């Protein structure tokens, strides 16, 4: 009897952690220093306040995040002094940094050569700062998730990134958080607390719906096993206020927060990817299309968010 009770107790102990966090994901934040009015990123006091408020939220969550910088978002006059302070704050909070181009350049409007020059310009502050801490700038995130709308451009961009030693950071869990963030920013500027709460709650519900879609969809690529996911979010006031709820949602669904390095070891990230598309979409769609299978799309944000976003922009 005692032995059975002990056996049941030890099985319970074994079963709980194993059943609890069996999924994994790497969280990434794009568009550093922040999605905010340009003026805020030219004022050192305002820019540091945005950064520190965001990191005060993020650091205790130990999310192993990687963040992608647009160096050109900080005004030229302030850049040499302000950007290293901002980046140091992110690194001190345990977040790794990657390149997201200097000016968030849209490849559809330019050449591969000009685009690669913007990649080079995007690492002037970040690369030496990482080096001084014994780290290497390795990760690159494509603006708009655009990989090139012709096969020539796509090949030239991929070769250029590889020659520079970059590892591309794909996105699997794409979700339009930026659309909610734009509406949230407007509510914030208007001091409309009720609207902020409504947008935040709709955002959390949308992120759950996106997971309901992507979890089984991703498993279709991997014989029923869900791969390690990469989540794309943005450095915004929406996430400063609501990311803890998103983080809790993932924990409740059994996710472990791993580094990008660890997530990219999943074999899914070496899956053949042969699509040439103008749209910026999840790699889950790119791999599905590369396999010659039919793409199905994740849920869109609610209509009232789409309408409010269009009105704001």
Tell me the closest approach of the beta carbon of residue 199 to Zn ion, in angstroms.
20
Alpha-carbon distance 253 to 244, whole Å? Answer: 14
Tell me the closest approach of the beta carbon of residue 263 to Zn ion, in angstroms.
19
Q: Does 298 bind Zn ion (CB under 5 A)?
A: no
> Of the two residues 140 and 257, which places its CB atom closer to Zn ion in the complex?
140
> Of the two residues 30 and 298, which places its CB atom closer to Zn ion in the complex?
30
> Of the two residues 68 and 250, which places its CB atom closer to Zn ion in the complex?
68
Tell me the closest approach of the beta carbon of residue 97 to Zn ion, in angstroms.
14
Single residue of 24, 26, 27, 30 touching Zn ion by CB under 5 A? 30
Q: Does 31 bind Zn ion (CB under 5 A)?
A: yes
> Of the two residues 31 and 118, which places its CB atom closer to Zn ion in the complex?
31
- Residue span binding Zn ion (CB under 5 A) among the ranges 23-31, 203-211, 217-225, 244-252: 23-31
Tell me the closest approach of the beta carbon of residue 253 to Zn ion, in angstroms.
26
CA distances from 144 to 22, 77, 161, 250 (A): 30, 27, 16, 24
C-alpha 99: how far from its chain's center?
12
Task: Write out the DSSP string of 106-163.
Answer: -GGGS-HHHHHHHHHHTTTTHHHHHHHTT----EE--GGG---SSHHHHHHHHHHHHH
Alpha-carbon distance 243 to 285, whole Å? Answer: 25
Pick out residues in 183-222 that bind Zn ion (CB under 5 A): none
H helices present in the chain, as ranges = 2-20, 44-58, 79-92, 112-121, 126-132, 151-163, 177-189, 193-219, 237-252, 260-263, 283-290, 303-312
Q: Does 174 bind Zn ion (CB under 5 A)?
A: no
Mark 99-138 with x for binding to Zn ion (rule: CB under 5 A) and - for no binding: ----------------------------------------
> Of the two residues 206 and 234, which places its CB atom closer to Zn ion in the complex?
234
CA distances from 78 to 40, 41, 47, 68 (A): 11, 9, 11, 19
Tell me the closest approach of the beta carbon of residue 105 to Zn ion, in angstroms.
10
Tell me the closest approach of the beta carbon of residue 37 to Zn ion, in angstroms.
17
> Of the two residues 221 and 231, which places its CB atom closer to Zn ion in the complex?
231
Pick from 85, 111, 81, 87: nearest CA to 100:
87
* Residues found near Zn ion in the complex (CB under 5 A): 30-31
């Amino acid at each position: 009897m005692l032995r059975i009770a002990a056996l049941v107790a030890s099985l319970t102990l074994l079963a709980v952690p194993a059943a609890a966090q069996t999924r994994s994901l790497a969280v990434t934040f794009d568009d550093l220093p922040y999605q905010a009015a340009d003026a805020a990123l030219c004022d050192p006091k305002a820019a540091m306040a945005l950064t520190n408020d965001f990191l005060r939220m993020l650091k205790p969550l130990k999310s192993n995040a990687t963040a992608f910088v647009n160096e050109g978002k900080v005004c030229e006059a302030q850049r040499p002094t302000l950007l290293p302070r901002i980046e140091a704050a992110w690194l001190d909070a345990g977040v790794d940094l990657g390149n997201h181009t200097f000016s968030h350049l849209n490849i559809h409007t330019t050449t591969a050569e000009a685009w690669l020059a913007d990649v080079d310009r995007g690492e002037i502050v970040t690369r030496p700062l990482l080096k001084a801490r014994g780290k290497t700038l390795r990760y690159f995130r494509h603006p708009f998730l655009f990989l090139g709308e012709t096969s020539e451009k796509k090949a030239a961009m991929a070769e250029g990134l590889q020659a520079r030693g970059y590892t591309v950071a794909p996105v699997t869990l794409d979700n339009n958080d930026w659309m909610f963030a734009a509406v949230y920013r407007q509510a914030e500027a208007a001091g409309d607390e009720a609207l902020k709460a409504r947008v935040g709650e709709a955002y959390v519900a949308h992120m759950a719906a996106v997971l309901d879609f992507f979890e089984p969809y991703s498993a279709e690529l991997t014989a029923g096993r869900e791969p390690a996911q990469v989540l794309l979010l943005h450095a915004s006031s929406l996430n400063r206020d609501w990311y803890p709820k998103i983080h809790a949602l993932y924990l409740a669904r059994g996710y472990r927060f791993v580094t990008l390095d660890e997530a990219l070891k999943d074999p899914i990230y070496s899956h053949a990817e042969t699509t040439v598309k103008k749209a910026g979409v999840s790699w889950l769609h790119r791999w599905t299309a590369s396999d010659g299978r039919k793409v199905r799309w994740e849920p869109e944000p609610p209509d009232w968010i789409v309408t409010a976003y269009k009105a704001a922009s």
